């Protein structure tokens, strides 16, 4: 082998062009549920992800990138395709950080066995290990890496826990294993990358100014950093549906991504937009008095809304599974609280209802108890079949109900619970706590009952990860229902709007390093857990008047503004009698304004943040067809400039807005009264600095004395107000 090794700086990785080989083609041929267009999309996105990775052949270097999908949208299919493509292009090891719970680890291992190993048919091309240890597997992995004919790829699934990841690091630290691997590529796929991987001590470290050399690291994060350090050539790919955490962490963090890929869901995907925007009638409100909370509302009897949800679900099973045979089974999820005791309580209620209903339906016709139960089902019949195309009679459905109930398995899904055998029943009712949260796939989920709410401000990425009811449900969407507290439903609608804006923003950019990390988000929600953010997250509201402080790139900005104002047709605002109160305005196309703002230089943090948020929000308003123009107002256009004070220490211009005052027969409303309410308004102010009339400020330093500059005042009307957040280090 040649001694020449390519050294790849991690900040400027050399791109390579992945090729589709035998393993990728064989895998794609087995994705029979996808049409040709969907296959092409999955493959092209995998190619894009891999093309941003470090060249796997004898290279030294590392990079971290991110792939962003929707919840339950097929991210696993994406990374199994990426894995096959990586094998075809020379990666010898693929490591999967497969969640924080054993059921998620097993779920990923099984999926790789099915997709890549084809249940053993492809075993000569792959060697698979789950939570390998140094004692039991180091020698095996070394031997596999030394195979020269087929050169199998090592697939390693590991629990996202420091002990297991440290075991893996020990294996690759071993001299023999290290020599066998050489500088060949390792691909690390971090599933649910926003969970556990990030440093939960980051915020604490940022507050500690005395100990920069020995920062605190959370155990899982520390173990991941050690693993990365052991591997001379690796690419770390974060997969997540909630990227707020990875996108907002400090740019210097080892897990801060450089490149991103937005994953496209398949044509039958039903996500947040489907439920909360396009089909809001699928969301049913749980009455406030029936919303469970272990301290504030610890229910003592089964709530009526749960009884209704269960009956509507069973009617749906009778229609979709037994009558129309569209699916082999359906499932229902009940997620009441994070505590296992609550899950046991709800499971007991459901189990009691199942047994009681089964006995009552076996009673002779005309029995009062049976009649009462049938009438209760009849009450829920209209809602259950409201969207079903073929209106099967109630009698036909109720005849099937005894068997439908008997063939419904109730599973308590908590720590150490058994795996679910989806094929042994036509109906599965899952009751659980955190095990039913992030990453857990509930097959054929039709009805969700989630009487859970948070006290205080919810975290956007956390509530979104509870959406197990998203997925590929188009075939039975007509019987899907989601029961939520009204407040939770509103939070989800807010999040869906935020998610769509964020995805559009990511789609427009190629690299994250060139983008101000701005996430538009309703003020009721936090973006992510604050402990993973190493600097303060700015949260403010685009509402009312704000001024910018354009004290850098003065000449460049002056040329830009003068060119913008040239040859424009303005309309004079109301005349207030003096030249410094004569203003004019125009309605400028939003896209032209966006380009103008992008070109205007604002390197200081607060103004750069506000400019970025304004640009992102203008794009959103245009996309939603809310506005088509922005008011550009040239202030005091009859005078060469207006004089303002300048605080050099804070690098901040004094109040740029002239105040309210009489002016002959007219009363001047002040600069902040020069505005319109039907769109955003940007006032262009031309200023010169003079502190001679200001008591508390020193004279203007020569750099700024007698210089004129342009700066802006921006007005956000109340009807367009929106919250934004951003990481200060990303501006």
Tokens standing for residue 721: 């107000």
Count structural domains, the chain: 3
139 shares its domain with 65:
yes
165 shares its domain with 283:
no
234 pLDDT band, cuts 50/70/90, is: very high
Tokens standing for residue 539: 């949260």
Section 667-691 average pLDDT: 93
Q: What is the DSSP string of 344-408?
A: HHHHHHHHHHHHHHHHHHTSPTT-HHHHHHHHHHHHHHHHHTTT-SS---HHHHHHHHHHHHHTE
CATH code, domain with 41 = 3.40.50.300
255 shares its domain with 344:
no
- The region of weakest confidence among 67-71, 322-326, 668-672, 680-684 is 67-71
Section 577-604 average pLDDT: 90
117 pLDDT band, cuts 50/70/90, is: very high
Residue 405 located in a structural domain: yes
Cα–Cα distance, 58 to 69 (Å, whole number): 31
280 shares its domain with 248:
no
> Where do we find the tokens 């006995």?
359
250 shares its domain with 118:
yes
422 shares its domain with 565:
no
Q: Given this model, what pLDDT does residue 218 score?
A: 66
Query: Bridge-partner residues for 642, per DSSP?
Result: 687
Cα–Cα distance, 721 to 719 (Å, whole number): 6
Note whether 82 and 237 are within 8 A (CB): yes
CA nearest to 90, candidates 61, 53, 129: 53
Cα distance from N-terminal residue to C-terminal residue, the chain: 45
Residue 496 located in a structural domain: yes
Q: Who has greater pLDDT, 651 or 541?
A: 651
Q: Given this model, what pLDDT does residue 240 score?
A: 84
Residue 156 located in a structural domain: yes
Kindly report, residue by residue over 31-58, the tens digit of the pLDDT: 998 999 999 999 999 999 999 999 998 7
Residue 83 located in a structural domain: yes
73 shares its domain with 142:
yes
Kindly report, residue by residue over 535-556, the tens digit of the pLDDT: 444 445 578 898 988 887 788 8
SS3 137: helix
Residue 598 located in a structural domain: yes
Q: Is 453 left (phi over 0), alpha (psi -120 to 50) or beta?
A: beta
Kindly report, residue by residue over 296-332, the tens digit of the pLDDT: 888 899 999 999 999 999 999 999 999 999 999 999 9
639 shares its domain with 492:
no
Mean residue pLDDT across the chain: 83
Q: 154: part of which helix (H) or strand (E)?
A: strand 153-158
Tokens standing for residue 198: 């990030």
Residue 2 has pLDDT above 50, yes or no: no
Cα–Cα distance, 398 to 388 (Å, whole number): 16
Q: Who has greater pLDDT, 36 or 215?
A: 36
In Å, how far are 315, 342, 422, 446, 473 from 442, measured between CA atoms?
19, 20, 9, 10, 12
CA nearest to 333, candidates 305, 353, 313: 313
**Percentage of the chain exceeding pLDDT 90:** 51
Cα–Cα distance, 155 to 164 (Å, whole number): 15
495 shares its domain with 546:
no
Residue 555's contacts (CB-CB under 8 Å, 6 or more residues apart) are: none
SS3 668: strand
DSSP 552: S
Residue 165 located in a structural domain: yes
Residue 515 located in a structural domain: no
Q: 686: part of which helix (H) or strand (E)?
A: strand 681-689
Tokens standing for residue 227: 């693993």
Kindly report, residue by residue over 76-87, the tens digit of the pLDDT: 899 999 999 999
273 shares its domain with 315:
yes
CB atoms within 10 A of CB 531: 14
Q: Given this model, what pLDDT does residue 219 score?
A: 78
CA nearest to 273, candidates 121, 83, 71: 71
620 pLDDT band, cuts 50/70/90, is: confident
495 shares its domain with 611:
no
176 shares its domain with 84:
yes
476, 500, 524: which is the final residue of a domain? 500
Cα–Cα distance, 699 to 696 (Å, whole number): 10
Residue 635 has pLDDT above 50, yes or no: yes
Residue 725 has pLDDT above 60, yes or no: no
Section 196-208 average pLDDT: 43
Cα–Cα distance, 236 to 216 (Å, whole number): 22
Q: Who has greater pLDDT, 712 or 486?
A: 712
In Å, how far are 180, 209, 371, 480 from 271, measured between CA atoms?
45, 44, 39, 12
Section 695-701 average pLDDT: 72
Buried residues in 83-98 as b, exposed as e (16+ CB within 10 A): bbbbbbbbbbbbbbbb
- The region of weakest confidence among 15-19, 99-103, 515-519 is 515-519
> Where do we find the tokens 């502190």?
691
Residue 531 has pLDDT above 50, yes or no: no
Range among 94-108, 126-140, 435-449 rated most confident:
126-140
Q: Which domain holds residue 402?
A: 269-500
Classify the C-alpha dihedral 471-472-477-480 as positive or negative: negative
- The region of weakest confidence among 102-106, 125-129, 335-339, 649-653 is 649-653
CA nearest to 570, candidates 656, 505, 635: 635
Q: Who has greater pLDDT, 328 or 525?
A: 328
**Percentage of the chain exceeding pLDDT 70:** 81
Residue 209 located in a structural domain: no
């Amino acid at each position: 082998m040649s001694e020449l090794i390519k050294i790849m700086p991690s900040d400027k990785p050399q791109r390579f062009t992945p090729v589709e080989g035998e393993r990728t083609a064989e895998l794609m041929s087995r994705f029979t549920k996808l049409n040709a267009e969907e296959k092409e999309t999955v493959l092209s996105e995998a190619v894009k992800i891999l093309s941003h990775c470090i060249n796997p052949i004898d290279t030294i270097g590392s990079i971290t990138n991110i792939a962003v999908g929707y919840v339950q949208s097929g991210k696993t299919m994406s990374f199994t395709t990426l894995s096959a493509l990586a094998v075809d292009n020379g990666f010898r090891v693929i490591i999967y950080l497969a969640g924080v719970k054993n059921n998620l680890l097993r779920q990923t291992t099984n999926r790789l066995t099915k997709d890549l190993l084809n249940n053993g048919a492809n075993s000569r091309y792959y060697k698979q290990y789950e939570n390998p240890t140094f004692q039991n597997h180091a020698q095996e992995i070394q031997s596999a890496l030394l195979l020269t004919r087929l050169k199998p790829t090592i697939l390693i699934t590991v629990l996202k826990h420091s002990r297991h990841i440290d075991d893996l690091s020990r294996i690759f630290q071993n001299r023999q294993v290290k020599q066998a691997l050489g500088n060949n590529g390792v691909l690390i796929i971090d599933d649910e990358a926003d969970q556990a991987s990030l440093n939960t001590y980051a915020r604490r470290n940022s507050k500690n100014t005395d100990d920069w050399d020995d920062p605190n690291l959370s155990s899982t994060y520390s173990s991941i950093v050690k693993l990365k350090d052991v591997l001379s050539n690796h690419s770390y790919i974060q997969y997540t549906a909630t990227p707020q955490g990875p996108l907002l962490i400090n740019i210097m963090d080892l897990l801060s991504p450089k490149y991103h890929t937005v994953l496209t869901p398949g044509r039958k995907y039903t996500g947040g937009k489907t439920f909360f925007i396009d089909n809001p009638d699928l969301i049913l409100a749980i009455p406030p008095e029936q919303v469970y909370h272990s301290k504030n509302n610890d229910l003592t009897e089964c709530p009526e809304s749960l009884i209704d949800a269960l009956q509507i679900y069973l009617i749906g099973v009778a229609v979709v599974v037994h009558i129309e045979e569209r699916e082999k089974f359906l499932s229902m999820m009940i997620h009441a609280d994070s505590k296992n005791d609550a899950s046991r309580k709800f499971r007991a209620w459901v189990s009691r209802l199942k047994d009681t209903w089964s006995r009552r339906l076996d009673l002779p016709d005309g029995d009062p108890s049976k009649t009462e139960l049938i009438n209760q089902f009849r009450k829920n019949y209209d809602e259950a079949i409201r969207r079903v195309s073929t209106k099967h009679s109630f009698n036909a459905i109720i005849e099937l109900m005894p068997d439908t109930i008997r063939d419904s398995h109730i599973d308590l899904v908590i720590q150490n619970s058994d795996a679910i055998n989806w094929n042994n029943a036509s109906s599965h009712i899952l009751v659980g706590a955190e095990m039913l949260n992030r990453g857990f796939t509930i097959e054929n989920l039709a009805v969700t009952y989630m009487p859970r709410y948070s006290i205080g401000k919810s975290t956007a990425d956390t509530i979104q990860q509870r959406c197990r009811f998203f997925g590929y449900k188009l075939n039975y969407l007509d019987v899907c229902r989601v029961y939520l507290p009204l407040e939770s439903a509103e939070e989800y609608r807010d999040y869906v709007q935020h998610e769509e804006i964020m995805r559009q923003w990511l789609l427009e950019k190629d690299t994250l390093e060139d983008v101000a990390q701005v996430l538009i988000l309703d003020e009721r929600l936090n973006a992510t857990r604050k402990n993973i953010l190493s600097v303060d997250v700015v949260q403010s509201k685009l509402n009312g008047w704000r001024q910018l402080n354009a004290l850098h790139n003065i000449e460049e900005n002056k040329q830009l503004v003068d060119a913008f104002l040239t040859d424009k047709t303005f309309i004079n605002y109301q005349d207030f009698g003096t030249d410094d109160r004569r203003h004019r305005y125009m309605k400028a196309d939003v896209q032209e304004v966006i380009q103008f703002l992008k070109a205007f230089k604002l390197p200081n943090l607060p103004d750069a943040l506000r400019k970025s948020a304004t640009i992102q929000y203008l794009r959103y308003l245009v996309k939603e067809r809310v506005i088509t123009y922005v008011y550009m107002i040239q202030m005091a256009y009859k005078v060469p400039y207006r004089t303002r004070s300048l605080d050099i220490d804070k690098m901040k211009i004094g109040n740029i807005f002239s105040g309210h005052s009489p002016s002959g027969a007219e009363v001047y409303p002040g600069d902040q009264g020069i505005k319109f309410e039907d769109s955003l308004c940007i006032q262009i102010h031309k200023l010169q600095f003079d502190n001679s009339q200001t008591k508390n400020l020193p004279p203007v330093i020569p750099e700024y004395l007698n210089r004129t500059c342009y700066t802006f005042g921006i007005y956000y009307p109340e009807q367009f107000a929106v919250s934004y957040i951003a990481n200060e280090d990303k501006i």
